[in-house]
Structure 1
Amino acid sequence: MRWLAHVTVATIVEDQGRFLLVEEISADNKPVFNQPAGHLEANESLIEAAMRETLEETGWDVELTAVTGIYLYTAPSNGVTYQRICFSARPLRHHPERALDDGILGAHWLTRDELATQPGRWRSHLVLRCIDDYLEGERFPLSLIRDPSLTR
């Protein structure tokens, strides 16, 4: 059997103590919260993927500011291992007229405490873990990502 990790990106978007979260339908057909997140596509940089996924899932243009962390997660539902590169960002512009990706019920601004009271609605434990890492000051420069779209 050939093992492959799936590369994903996620974005922590914070504005005045509230975090931009996506409410989406899980594989078992339940509404769950997640950061704007998704898979890296062919010929796409990690930076491009994070900005694209955030826009497609929330209707928000963002400016990436740092790398919050790199995480490994094996989903108990299917045994697939995901490598998540989590970025932090600031919101720039909302496009409320923009249609969101299929399976997205909506975008919500929640505080850490509002999210923490609903563990049964997290896509995975990484949802709160990434926010907690961000709140603890975990910020690595974007130059950590050796990405041709970044200029020196």
Structure 2
Amino acid sequence: MVWTPRVTVASVIEREGRFLLVEEEDNGRRVFNQPAGHLEEGESLLAACIRETLEETGRQLTPEAVVGVYRWQHPASGLTFIRVAVTGSVSEPVPDHALDADILATHWLEPRVLADDPACQRSPLVLRCIEDYLAGRRYPLGLLVEV
């Protein structure tokens, strides 16, 4: 069997010290995550970020910078994930846009909510991306090259 990491994208969106997060169910528990998901075949990383943000929040993302590229291995499943996190701005909710069925709600939360309760995070990547954003980590979108 060939080892293949799962490629995911996430959007780190901040307004006035609060971050746009989605509430979803993961193995029977309610957790918070950035608008995030898997890269689809033939899709660019930025297109995936824009799509996932719209699907999960009903908002249009305008990407501005890369926050980071992360590798994480799920302790229970052993699956490895490569996450590309971008930041940018989002529109107000698109009228009448239905969110993905897996999304319970969207929230603008302060980072301390996640830091105070690590179990409320979908994965440790959620808070790490926010911490890197708060530390000023920004890389040009040109870092994401499509060949």
TM bucket normalised to smaller: over 0.9
Percent of counterpart pairs with the same letter?
A: 50
**Counterpart of 1:32?**
31
CA contact (8 A) 1:14 1:91 kept: no
What code does the residue aligned with 1:73 have?
Answer: W
CA contact (8 A) 1:15 1:91 kept: no
Q: What SS does the aligned partner of 2:76 have?
A: coil
CA distance in 1, matches of 2:74, 2:98: 28
**Counterpart of 1:63?**
62
**Counterpart of 1:73?**
72
**Counterpart of 2:84?**
85
CA contact (8 A) 1:21 1:35 kept: yes
CA distance in 1, matches of 2:66, 2:43: 17
**Counterpart of 1:9?**
9
What code does the residue aligned with 1:25 have?
Answer: E
With 72-81 and 32-41 compared, the bigger mean Cα shift is at 72-81
Gap change, CA 1:128 and 1:96, over 3 Å in 2: farther
What code does the residue aligned with 1:4 have?
Answer: T
Q: Does 1:21 align with 2:42?
A: no
* 1:86-110: CA deviation from partner (whole Å, max 9, x where unpaired): 0011122312521111211011000
**Counterpart of 1:130?**
129
What code does the residue aligned with 1:103 have?
Answer: D
**When the two structures are superposed, what TM-score results if normalisation uses the length of structure 1?**
0.92
Any unmatched runs of 5+ in structure 1?
none
* 1:76 CA displacement: 1.5
- The size of the alignment, in residue pairs, is 147
What code does the residue aligned with 2:8 have?
Answer: T
Q: Does 1:109 align with 2:102?
A: no
* 1:147 CA displacement: 3.3
CA distance in 2, matches of 1:147, 1:65: 17
**When the two structures are superposed, what TM-score results if normalisation uses the length of structure 2?**
0.95
Q: What SS does the aligned partner of 1:86 have?
A: strand
Any unmatched runs of 5+ in structure 2?
none
**Counterpart of 1:50?**
49
CA distance in 1, matches of 2:19, 2:83: 18
* 1:77 CA displacement: 2.4
CA contact (8 A) 1:74 1:81 kept: yes
CA distance in 1, matches of 2:92, 2:56: 14
